[in-house]
Every structure is written in structure tokens, then in C-alpha cells.
């Protein structure tokens, strides 16, 4: 019988400019059972640098999940989502939108760009936990993307 394979913690990138919302997202992640390493950047420019291993992010891990706010300085989350979903190396990373915008146009655009889930802030801890657990059960448990494509 083969020994069980050790599962590494999920690498999660949180793109959030509000320290309060980042703290709430961290707390909500703590309520889920998903073992994770959380990396936080505060705007879309830094998010793309992290994802593309640029500048100080040269050794950054490839995230297994991106938690993305839409309303960000320098480059908003809509542009980040569009860029990463058209990048062959990044497009398969699941994205959960965490934003204050409940506008139908934003929801439709996010799903049209292949976001996996759309959650309106303030974060509903129960819903957020269910989303993370669903991703854990049906994505992380089955699919492990290569560290680099």
C-alpha cells in the first residue's frame, strides 16, 4: 500500500487595498478548513507583478487561488481579471471576486471573464467559507496545476 501523498498548503493571493477587508478575508479563510499560505498585495499592478514573478516577486509561488477586489488603485480588478484570463500561464487559476460592487454589469463581466465566484462585501463568512470548502473539495482535491506552465 502506498503512503498518502502529503498535500501542501494552498497558495492564495489576496488582492485587496483595504487593510480592514484584508483582515476580514484572512479571518474568513481561517474559518475554512483549507490549509493555506496567504499572500497579500494592495493593487492590480502589484498583483500582475506577483503573478508574473517580476521585481521583488521573482520567487513568488504560483497561486492556487486568487481572491480579487474589483475596486483597486493603479489597475482595477476588472483589468487584472481580463489580463490573467487571457494569459496562457495564468488562466486556469481559480478567481473569487470579493468586492463592494453589486452592479449587474460587474457581475456579468466577471463571470464573462471566467471568474469562479462573485461575493459582495462585507464578506458573508458562511458563504465565503462554503465557497472555499467547495473549491477545496472539488478543485484542490482533484486538480493540482503544475507549479509553472
Per-residue confidence (pLDDT) for residue 149, from 0 to 100: 47
Decide if 75 is inside a domain: yes
What is d(CA 54, CA 24) in angstroms, rounded to the nearest whole number?
A: 28
Mean of per-residue pLDDT scores for the chain: 88
C-alpha cell at 148: 509553472
- The pLDDT of 39-56, averaged and rounded, is 97
What pLDDT digit, counting tens, does each position of 68-107 carry? 999 999 999 999 999 999 999 999 899 999 999 999 999 9
Decide if 145 is inside a domain: no
Decide if 4 is inside a domain: no
Decide if 110 is inside a domain: yes
- In the chain, the number of structural domains is 1
What pLDDT digit, counting tens, does each position of 96-117 carry? 999 999 999 999 999 999 999 9
Sign of CA dihedral 86, 89, 95, 98: negative
Decide if 148 is inside a domain: no
CATH of the domain at 97: 3.40.50.2300
Decide if 129 is inside a domain: yes
What is d(CA 64, CA 94) in angstroms, rounded to the nearest whole number?
A: 7
C-alpha distances (whole Å) from 102 to each of 33, 106, 110 are 28, 7, 11
Decide if 146 is inside a domain: no
Give the domain range for residue 106.
10-137
Per-residue confidence (pLDDT) for residue 130, from 0 to 100: 84
Decide if 111 is inside a domain: yes
Amino acid at each position: 500500500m502506498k503512503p498518502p501523498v502529503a498535500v501542501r498548503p494552498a497558495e492564495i493571493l489576496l488582492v485587496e487595498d483595504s487593510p480592514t477587508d484584508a483582515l476580514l478575508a484572512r479571518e474568513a479563510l481561517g474559518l475554512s478548513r483549507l490549509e493555506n499560505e496567504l499572500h497579500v498585495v494592495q493593487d492590480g499592478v502589484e498583483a500582475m507583478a506577483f503573478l508574473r514573478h517580476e521585481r521583488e516577486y521573482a520567487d513568488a509561488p504560483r497561486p492556487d487561488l486568487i481572491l480579487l477586489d474589483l475596486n483597486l488603485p493603479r489597475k482595477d480588478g476588472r483589468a487584472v481579471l481580463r489580463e490573467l484570463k487571457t494569459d496562457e500561464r495564468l488562466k486556469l487559476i481559480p478567481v473569487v471576486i470579493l468586492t463592494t460592487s453589486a452592479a449587474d454589469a460587474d457581475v456579468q463581466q466577471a463571470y464573462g471573464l471566467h471568474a469562479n465566484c462573485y461575493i459582495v462585501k462585507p464578506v458573508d463568512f458562511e458563504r465565503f467559507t462554503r465557497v472555499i470548502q467547495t473549491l477545496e473539495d472539488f478543485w484542490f482535491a482533484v486538480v493540482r496545476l503544475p507549479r509553472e506552465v
